[in-house]
């Protein structure tokens, strides 16, 4: 019997990009930020209040997510607002919530 790989097997650069994104998302605090944002946009202060840790800690994690192109940001006056920048990431977050989060 001969094994055949799936025809949907990704190219090496696709696999590398996915691995980097999943690694960035795998930290519990970053995953909590992403789940909290969902399809919304929030300021750093809103995220600090939601997550419950220091602003410097949140800023560090937001920077990692932004550097991996998971989050997009915009500045308005002296506030920075974040949102999930790629609809594919939102789809992935929704799928993870469906699989791992209780519905009660």
Instruction: Say which residue, 101 or 80, is predicted with more confidence.
Output: 80
Q: For residues 95 and 34, give the distance between their C-alpha atoms in angstroms, rounded to a whole number.
A: 13
Residue 84 has a CB neighbour count (10 Å cut-off) of: 22
Residue 85's contacts (CB-CB under 8 Å, 6 or more residues apart) are: 69, 70, 71, 72
> Helix, strand or coil for residue 82?
strand
CATH of domain 14-98: 1.10.10.10
Domain boundaries of the chain, sorted by first residue: 14-98
Single pTM value for the model: 0.82
Q: Could you read off the pLDDT of 55-85 as tens digits, one per residue?
A: 999 999 999 999 988 999 999 999 999 999 9
Pair of tokens at residue 2: 């001969």
Q: For residues 28 and 38, give the distance between their C-alpha atoms in angstroms, rounded to a whole number.
A: 15
């Amino acid at each position: 019997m001969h094994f055949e790989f799936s025809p949907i097997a990704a190219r090496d650069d696709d696999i590398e990009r996915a691995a980097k994104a999943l690694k960035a998302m795998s930290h519990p605090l970053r995953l909590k930020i992403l789940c909290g944002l969902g399809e919304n946009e929030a300021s750093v202060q809103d995220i600090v209040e939601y997550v419950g840790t220091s602003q410097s800690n949140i800023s560090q994690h937001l920077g990692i997510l932004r550097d991996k192109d998971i989050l997009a940001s915009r500045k308005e006056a002296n506030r920075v607002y974040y949102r999930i920048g790629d609809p594919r990431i939102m789809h992935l977050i929704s799928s993870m919530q469906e699989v791992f989060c209780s519905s009660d």
